[in-house]
């Protein structure tokens, strides 16, 4: 009875693993909101997750099947004495080379994804590179909020040095928001991440974007959002007693320049002067009165 129980026990786990994998999408146990990534980069990252999941699943099921077989075979004759071995050189070579080969394959396979996400510094150092003007904002993480600074509307960067100068200190005409980052839709986006105090982590689950904010460093983050809407922004690094409330939003919009103009009008409003819309409305009313 013990023999049958243990064979069934170790056989049940791979079966359970397959069942859970099949029902996970219907139970919303997958990626955030069980949805596809909002960025092409995120889709590539998802592919890496699925690749690793397939490799691990095959290894797990194979191991459990072999284990169940050995238990069944070895326990068939209780009178037979056990065979003890000090090891097999050939087996040790095989199970060293095979995992090493798999890890090397994964390392090489993910290099393109890593390059898309991180290896862009060379492009920015080229004079008048088109990617210089993909800079959208500077994001400063601090206990316990996200402070966002945008360049003045119409700002054109011609060199990496100009970007570095802008990052070094606030400039006239800069625009600011807190806990709400706006980015253009379907356009390659660059933001620079800073920390104002301790280590934080900029994490947008639906975009599969995650980067630590380290004090004293300006860290570039590249992504392209291909789905309009709001996405949760959270801190994924324990940063103090208020870590739980360090939340924000990332909003992808088509008319990004229009958003900057509106933000500028709101920021420049002194509380007394009438806005352009109010002046236009007043002029229309006076015309009707005449």
Angle between helices 111-118 and 89-109 (to 10 degrees): 40
In whole angstroms, how large is the CA radius of gyration of the chain? 28
Q: What is the pLDDT of residues 208-240, one digit of tens each?
A: 999 999 999 999 888 999 999 999 999 999 999
Higher pLDDT among residues 205 and 9, named by residue = 205
Taking residues 261-265, what's their average pLDDT?
Answer: 91
pLDDT at 200: 95
Question: What does the pLDDT look like over 35-49, one tens digit per residue?
Answer: 778 888 888 888 888
Q: What is the pLDDT of residue 117?
A: 75
Tell me the pLDDT band of 275, cut-offs 50, 70 and 90.
low
Mean pLDDT score across all residues of the chain: 83
d(CA 189, CA 138): 12
Q: Contact 206/232 with Cβ under 8 angstroms?
A: yes
Residue ranges, comma separated, of all CATH 2.60.40.420 domains in the chain are 128-270
Taking domain 128-270, whether its CATH number is 3.20.20.70 is answered by: no
Is pLDDT larger for residue 6 or for residue 202?
202
DSSP code per residue over 80-124: SPP---S--HHHHHHHHHHHHHHHHHHHHHTHHHHHHHH--HHHH
């Amino acid at each position: 009875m013990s023999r049958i129980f243990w064979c069934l026990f170790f056989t049940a786990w791979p079966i359970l693993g397959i069942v859970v994998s099949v029902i996970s999408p219907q139970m919303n146990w997958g990626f955030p909101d069980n949805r596809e990534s909002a960025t092409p980069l995120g889709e590539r990252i998802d592919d890496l997750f699925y690749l690793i999941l397939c490799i691990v699943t095959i290894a797990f099921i194979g191991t459990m099947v072999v284990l169940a077989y050995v238990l069944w075979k070895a326990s068939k004759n209780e009178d037979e004495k056990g065979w003890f071995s000090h090891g097999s050189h050939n087996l040790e070579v095989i199970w060293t080379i095979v995992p090493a080969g798999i890890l090397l394959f994964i390392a090489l396979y993910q290099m393109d994804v890593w390059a898309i996400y991180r290896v862009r510094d060379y492009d920015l150092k080229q004079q008048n590179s088109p990617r210089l003007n993909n800079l959208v904002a500077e994001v400063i993480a601090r206990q316990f909020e996200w402070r966002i600074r945008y360049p003045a509307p119409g700002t054109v960067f011609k060199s990496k040095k100009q970007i570095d100068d802008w990052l070094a200190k606030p400039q006239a005409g800069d625009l600011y928001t807190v806990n709400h980052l706006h980015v253009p839709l379907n356009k390659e986006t660059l933001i620079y991440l800073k920390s104002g105090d301790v280590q934080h982590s900029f994490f947008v689950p639906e975009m599969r974007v995650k980067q630590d904010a380290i004090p004293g460093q300006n860290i570039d983050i590249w992504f392209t959002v291909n789905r309009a809407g709001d996405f949760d922004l959270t801190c994924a690094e324990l940063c103090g007693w208020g870590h739980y409330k360090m939340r924000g939003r990332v909003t992808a919009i088509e008319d990004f320049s229009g958003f900057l103009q509106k933000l500028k009008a709101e920021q420049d409003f002194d509380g007394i002067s009438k806005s352009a819309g109010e002046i236009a409305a007043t002029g229309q009313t006076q015309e009707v009165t005449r």
